[in-house]
Chain A
Amino acid sequence: MTCSRRSFLKDAVGGTLVSSLPLSAFVFLTTEEAEAAIAEAKVRWAFLVDTTTCTGCGLCVKACKTENEIPYDAPVTRTWVERYVVTKDGQTHIDSPLGGRDGFIDDKIRDEEIDPDDIDKAFFVPKLCNQCDNPACVQVCPVGATYQTHDGVVLIDRNWCIGCGYCIMACPYGVRFFHPTAKVADKCNFCYHRISKGMQPACVECCSFGARRIANLEDPDDPVTKIIRTERVAVLKDEYGTKPHVFYIGLDEAVR
């Protein structure tokens, strides 16, 4: 048998190419499947919070707890509202009693009366899961119970979570908690059952001041996406490199 150098090289390269072709390359999609796959890829959920219009009524927190079956009186919540009062002496007073569930109906912060003349500024900051592009909470999960969907939302598999709590410690924003009755880690998922049906998250629907809005970043015609793209918005703890997708209008330096 003779084998020229040329034919040997040809066969070697060809054989390598054929053997490296995965079987999945031969899967043919129907038109519907292909369209569905493209449509699915065209969603990236994001959130816009306007801290300049939030009045601290806490109705978002109440709605969230009801909608997502979080025990109402347990000291855990998927979203919460923080109150910031910056005084003239440079101090920042922060509180969020019960996550702001019952609103802020008193001037007192942590039972401390602050003279209105000493206040430089005061505002309310709603917080929720940032659905990061690089979610630290997902990386640390030892069992694959938490993951990022194709549309950017980080979900928790309640049947698969072992409740080890690594993710609760890993999240730089402190949005995760241990669910007291489901006995698993839990957090905001932008009301995934609502947004996947074309509805708005419960907190967005219940906000009377337009301080909370949901956006699809892949849709250039989405009015909220336009705001995120064209106006001055900030994210929390950018320095962690998690690429958070909750954008804030009017975010103050005092907010942590």
Chain B
Amino acid sequence: MKWHVLRPLWVAIAIVGSILVARVFLVPDDFGINGRNFTYGFHRLSNIQEWKDFQVKYRGREYCVDCHEEKVQSLNASPHQPVECENCHGAAVNHPDDPAMLPIERSREHCLRCHAQLNYPHSARDQVPGINNRMHMRRRECADCHNPHNPAETQQ
């Protein structure tokens, strides 16, 4: 064959070769199907561990009870028992080291998430004791009268 016909072939081979060489350096060693299939399991194996190492922020009441035993006990004895501490106090993360103080959500809007009466018959909201937001103590915060740790007790 003539030289001018072969020349583009050498160029193509060089391009493919350089891609193959670059691939050796760029693709991590643990990239592959790792015992699974190409359709669903083509991945970098160490990424699974990276996701497992993601920081946990919500620690649960088992974490709170170590220091705030009294508060957790009183909450557990109240109708608010199913409500997690961190729902109102924010994620503990590494409290008390970081953050040293946790915010306390006292806003009316926060209580209304569950306790706003919606005129929806047969909805789950109907099962929760609720108020009419437009009628009930418009300008007050709920926590002024109701104790969030024990909503059964109410002061006027």
Residues of A within 8 A of B (CB): 52-59, 63, 66-68, 85, 102-107, 116, 119, 121-124, 134-135, 138-139, 144-150, 155, 157-160, 189, 192-194, 196-197, 199, 202, 205-206, 208-211
Residues of B within 8 A of A (CB): 31, 36, 39-44, 47-48, 50-58, 60, 82-84, 86-87, 90-91, 109, 112-114, 116, 118-125, 127-128, 133
CB pair B58 A67 closer than 8 Å: yes
> Of B109, B112, B119, which contacts A119 at CB under 8 A?
B119
Residues of chain A within 8 A of B60, CB atoms compared: 199, 205
CB pair B58 A148 closer than 8 Å: no
> Of A56, A116, A147, A197, which contacts B40 at CB under 8 A?
A147
Give the Cβ gap from A188 to chain B, nearest Cβ, in Å. Answer: 12
> Of B43, B91, B120, B122, which contacts A147 at CB under 8 A?
B43
Residues of chain A within 8 A of B54, CB atoms compared: 68, 192-193
A interface secondary structure, majority: loop
In the complex the two chains form, what is the Cα distance from A80 to B101 in whole Å? 29
Given known A-B contacts A106-B116, A192-B54, A208-B83, A66 and B91 have beta carbons under 8 A apart: yes
Question: Number of residue pairs across A and B with beta carbons under 8 Å?
Answer: 145
In the complex the two chains form, what is the Cα distance from A206 to B112 in whole Å? 16
In the complex the two chains form, what is the Cα distance from A106 to B108 in whole Å? 13
Pull 22 A–B residue pairs with CB atoms less than 8 Å apart, ordered by A. A53-B124, A54-B124, A59-B87, A66-B90, A103-B113, A104-B116, A116-B119, A122-B122, A124-B124, A135-B40, A144-B31, A146-B43, A149-B48, A155-B51, A192-B51, A193-B51, A193-B54, A197-B52, A202-B58, A206-B87, A208-B83, A208-B87
Most chain A CB neighbours (cut-off 10 Å) among B56, B109, B127: B56
Given known A-B contacts A119-B121, A124-B123, A202-B57, A208 and B41 have beta carbons under 8 A apart: no
CB pair A197 B124 closer than 8 Å: no
CB pair B52 A192 closer than 8 Å: yes
Given known A-B contacts A55-B124, A116-B119, A205-B60, A155 and B47 have beta carbons under 8 A apart: yes
CB pair B114 A55 closer than 8 Å: yes
Apart from the given pairs A105-B112, A107-B118, A158-B50, 19 other A-B contacts in the complex at a CB distance below 8 Å: A52-B124, A55-B114, A57-B114, A103-B114, A104-B116, A121-B120, A121-B123, A123-B123, A138-B40, A145-B43, A147-B36, A147-B42, A149-B48, A155-B43, A157-B43, A157-B44, A192-B52, A202-B58, A211-B124
Give the Cβ gap from A21 to chain B, nearest Cβ, in Å. Answer: 17
CB pair B125 A193 closer than 8 Å: no
In the complex the two chains form, what is the Cα distance from A144 to B27 in whole Å? 11
Residues of chain A within 8 A of B128, CB atoms compared: 55
